[in-house]
Amino acid sequence: MEWHDRKDAILRRTAQHPVLRLGEGDEAEVYALDQDRIIRFFKRHVDPTYIAKRGAFYAGLDASTVAFAIPSIIEHGIDGDVCYSIERRIPGSSLVDLLARLKGEAREDALTAYAGAVTAIRRIGYNGHVGYGEVMADPPIRSDTWKTCVLTKAETCLRESRIRLRDGIVEPERALRILERMLAYHGPVERHLVHGDFYSANVIVEAEGTVTGVIDFGPLTLVGDWRLDAASALLYLTGMDGITEEDKKVVHSCLTAIGLREQDVALYRLFYAFLFLDTKKAALLDWCRGTIETACSA
């Protein structure tokens, strides 16, 4: 039986009908089982070891200090080559979907709540590894200093994806040296849980814009500088359909008020350009190349 056939058979056994598909990302397809549960089908390229690691990560978090939910796994299952998890359903829809309908003051309130969720993530308790670095990546990059962690990750991404920069960027190592200088002036970094992929599709909100959940912690999640999430929240708005300059100003103002600096945005813009060099999305790859090229020509 093929993967999709097995998946459909599981849905027929477990889901209410008609089946409601909630979304699809790089690693999974997600469906509603009922009002209280979802089922996440991991794609075939996702290592079962990572799935187990993901489950242990969520089980070890303490989100009692934040007002929104994080994923809560009820059970894991394997049927042939189909790996899945059944999880608590977080009420609401993704902010990216809600923004397509919101206008005026309600839109501003939702964007303000989105920015506020960034500072809340750092209050989530995580008692994993000591030091800075990746939580679920395999193998993880970790270090006693944030500077070393970020620089090593960027160097690794460049080494593994250098061929994607072959047109027009002769010496991308210049951008690495600029990143190193930025990190030298970045200042001390307290250890906090960092989502690593914080943007509107991973923020669940109710109709009035209240944040009810933050989802999809994953391979980019790490322990380090919370301002990485703040920069991500802002940077992801660039190029998104329907996002206006006023939207960006609202989010930028909120993030500045909680401590995000322009130098942080510049630093993590360049870091993300290295991080996403392996993307399959043409527009994102163009952004990565352009960002690195701009740094090299500075």
Class assignment of domain 3-88? alpha beta
Q: Do domains 3-88 and 93-296 have the same CATH topology?
A: no
pLDDT tier at 168 (50, 70, 90 boundaries)?
low
Percent of the chain scoring above 90 in pLDDT = 82
Superfamily of domain 93-296: Aminoglycoside phosphotransferase (APH), C-terminal lobe (3.90.1200.10)
Length of the chain: 298
Domain boundaries, given as residue ranges, for the chain: 3-88, 93-296
Which parts of the chain are beta strand (E)?
Answer: 20-24, 28-32, 37-42, 61-62, 73-79, 82-88, 93-94, 125-126, 132-134, 142-143, 192-194, 203-205, 211-214, 222-224
Model pTM score: 0.94
> What digits encode the pLDDT tens for the residues 133-161?
999 998 999 999 999 999 999 999 999 98
pLDDT, residue 214, reads 98
> What digits encode the pLDDT tens for the residues 57-114?
999 999 999 999 999 999 999 999 999 999 999 999 999 999 999 999 999 999 999 9
- Mean local confidence (pLDDT), 179-191: 95
